Amino acid sequence: MLKATTKFFIGLMLAAVLSVSMVTAQESPTEFDRTGWPETFIIGVYPGDNVEEALAGVEPLRAYLEEYLNLRTVLVTGTSYNSVIEAMAAGRVDAMEVGPFAYVLAAEVAQAEAIAVANYTTDTTDTTMPGYISVFFTKKGSGIRTIEDLAGRSFGFTDPASASGYLIPANEIMVAMGFTDPAEIEAFTNVNFAGNHPNAVLAVWNDNVEAAGTFDANLPIQADRIGMDLCGYTDLGIEGQATVEEWPYQVPMTREEIEAIYDECPEGHLVVFHQSRVIPETPFAIRATYPDSFKQAVRQALLDFSKNQDLVDEFQRFYVDPVQLGYTDSIDSQYDVLREAARNLNINLRGR
C-alpha cells in the first residue's frame, strides 16, 4: 500500500548552539555505565519543505542532549518519513522523532523503541496525555462540507507514513463510507500525495486539490506564514476551545461547532469540515539494540528537559512518560490505535 521509498540524504546542517549557560543550567545526570554507547549520537529528523528551519527548530534538543550525555550529538535529515526509517534500519541513525505512524513502522522494521513522548506546550505542569488531531479542510465555495461530499472530488494526503496526513484520514474515510477495502478510497475520491504537510495546505489554497488532510496546528502556522485566509483556527472564540496561543488542542470540536464555523466562513477562505479522534503524540524512539544504560540515560535526559524552563520555552515542548502519568502500561501500546488503522487499510507494517 505504501509507495516506494526514497533514497536517504544526510544533512549535517547544525544551527547555532544555545548559550552554554542555558544548557549547563541543567542538573548533572547520574553517571551511567557507558559500555556499548555510540561514539556519536545521531538523531534522524524529517524536515518537510525547509531543512534549515527544521534543524534550527531541533537544535535546542541536540545541544542539550550533547551536554547532558557528554556525547557528540548530531542531527540528520531524510527526504521522507520512510527515508529516516530506512536510515535507522541500516544503522545510520540511532534515534528518531518523525511522527507516531513513522514510529509504528520503525518499531516493526528498524527495532525502534519509544522511550518518551513529546508534549507540545511550554506548561510543564500539564499532565494531560499528549495528542493532536487530523483535520480535513477545503476552500469555502467548493461545496464540500462532509466526507460524503468528497465523492468524485480531489483529495490530498501528505506522506504515506504520516499519521495525520494519511493513516488517520484514510481510515476516517473508510469508516465514514463503510468501505471494507482500501481500494474503494481511490474509486471514491481522486487521491493525491502532496509530500508534506505545508504542501497539502498550499495545494488546497492554490486550487490544485479540492480538499486535504493535515494535523490541526499546521493550518494556522501555514496561514500565518503564507498569508492565507483561514476560518476558525486563527480566532476560534468557541466556548471550551483553545486559542492558537494555547496549542495543542486536546479535544476535537463537536460537529455543531464545525458547522457553525463553516457557515460563517466567507467564500474563498480555508475551512475545516471534519476532525478525527485524538492521535497519540510523536514519541522519541531509539534503537532497541543499544544497552539499557544508554537508553536509560537518553530517557532520563528527555524527562529532565522540563526542569529548565528556558529550554522548554526555546524548544516549545518537553517530554513525558505516559506510563508514569498513568495513561498506559507501556509507551508502545498507546500506538496500537494506529496499528488498528493500518490493519483496516491492509497496510503490511513490515512490507514497505
The sheet with strand 154-157 has its strands ordered as 190-193, 154-157, 211-215, 131-139, 270-280
Say if residue 34 is in the same domain as residue 157. Answer: no
Say if residue 56 is in the same domain as residue 87. Answer: yes
Domain for residue 208, yes or no? yes
Residue 94 has pLDDT above 70, yes or no: yes
Domain for residue 351, yes or no? no
Count: domains in the chain:
2
Residue 241 has pLDDT above 50, yes or no: no
Of 252, 280, 308, at which residue does a domain stop? 280
Say if residue 140 is in the same domain as residue 244. Answer: yes
Compute the CA torsion angle 332, 337, 339, 344 (nearest 10 deg): 180
Say if residue 322 is in the same domain as residue 269. Answer: no
Mean pLDDT of 246-272: 81
Res 189: pLDDT: 97
User: Across the strands, what pairs with 258?
Assistant: none
Say if residue 167 is in the same domain as residue 255. Answer: yes
Mean pLDDT of 81-106: 94
Give the structural domain span for 229.
Answer: 131-280
Confidence tier at 19 by pLDDT (50, 70, 90): very low
Domain for residue 181, yes or no? yes
Domain for residue 219, yes or no? yes
Say if residue 138 is in the same domain as residue 262. Answer: yes
Of 208, 234, 207, 239, the C-alpha closest to 219 is 234
Say if residue 275 is in the same domain as residue 287. Answer: no
Res 32: pLDDT: 82
Say if residue 34 is in the same domain as residue 87. Answer: yes
Domain for residue 328, yes or no? yes
Res 57: pLDDT: 87
- State whether the Cα torsion 57-55-270-280 is positive or negative: negative
pTM score of the predicted model: 0.80
The tens digit of pLDDT for each residue in 146-202 reads 999 999 999 999 988 899 999 999 999 999 999 999 999 999 999 999 999 999 999
CB 130 within 8 A of CB 119: yes
Confidence tier at 235 by pLDDT (50, 70, 90): very low
Q: What percentage of the chain reaches a pLDDT higher than 90?
A: 65
